[in-house]
Amino acid sequence: MAKITASVYTSHVPAIGAAIDTGKTTDPYWVPLFKGYEPSKSWMEASKPDVIFLVYNDHATAFSLEMIPTFAIGCAAEFKPADEGYGPRPVPTVIGHPELASHIAQSVIQDDFDLTIVNKMDVDHGLTVPLNLLCGSPDAWPCPVIPFAVNVVQYPVPSGQRCFNLGKAIRKAIESYDEPLKVQIWGTGGMSHQLQGPRAGLINREWDNAWLDKLIADPAAAAAVPHIEYVREAGSEGIELVMWLIARGAMDDVAGGPAPTVAHRFYHVPASNTGVGHLILENKQ
Ligand code: DHB
Ligand code: FE
């Protein structure tokens, strides 16, 4: 049977991708940010997952505002880096896992979560920046990736509670897949940021860190946080954090198993307009 070995959480600021693509990672502005991910890269190399189930959001890139699925699962054999206005990022094509993705779609839809099946999709910074942060800039990503896109761009967006419950259903789906795969689930986006309006530039370090504490120790309480609190405390784009609850809901302790181990935790400001948070949780073997 497949097994969820760990969950990874990270922000996805596009300027991080631009810093990588234009050779600016050693600029003083960026050094502390990339330093915080050095332990993560070593961890990633050692952990050798067979598949990454990567929860992220599309920023009106693959899905324009003409068509906005709430939850979309990538079932294709591959996903190309998207052109977000400066040409596609020079990163590897993402290789999918159509068999496991189809199995998850079958199980999760039968569990009453209405997923959109996506057989062709380019992936934007929401997916490629987290891969860079954990895997560096290799010629090929280390394993197949199942992209799972969540609408956090156009209201109404799903609640934290619904995302958490979806994580439980995804766990059930993965653990019923009849092949001994080591699967990681990633929750990305956030933390506090607001890119628009009078409060543009808002970052809330205290709230971000308190939310991280809660996500680790009491995920059900983190899931109960209402939309209005994200928007008020973490800014309009802070709502991206509900995606982290999908990954957290898939961990062993939520299904009655032992609490996960914190393999790494990092927080850094500034990175463009965003409070960057990062966490690695491991299930006990
Ligand atoms: C920024 C952050 C995001 O999450 C995003 O999608 C776009 C921009 C930023 O901080 O600049
Ligand atoms: Fe974003």
Question: What CATH number does residue 176 fall under?
Answer: 3.40.830.10
Domain that holds residue 128: 3-282
The model carries a pTM of 0.98
Please pick, among 103, 125, 268, 278, the residue that the annotation labels catalytic. 125
Nearest atom in ligand 1 to 15's CA: 11
ipTM, interface predicted TM-score of the complex: 0.98
The number of distinct structural domains making up the chain is 1
227 assigned to active site = no
State the distance from the centre of ligand 1 to the C-alpha of 285, rounded, in angstroms: 35
- C-alpha 165/C-alpha 188 separation (Å) is 17
Please pick, among 193, 227, 268, 278, the residue that the annotation labels catalytic. 193
Cα-Cα-Cα-Cα dihedral of 221, 223, 227, 233, to 10°? Answer: 50
Residue 59: CB within 6 Å of ligand 1? yes
Residue 236: CB within 6 Å of ligand 1? no
Looking at ligand 1, which residue's alpha carbon is closest to its atom 5?
Answer: 13
* 10-residue averages of pLDDT along the chain (285 residues): 98 98 98 98 98 98 95 98 97 98 98 98 98 98 98 97 98 98 98 97 98 98 98 98 99 98 97 98 94
- C-alpha 151/C-alpha 204 separation (Å) is 23
125 assigned to active site = yes
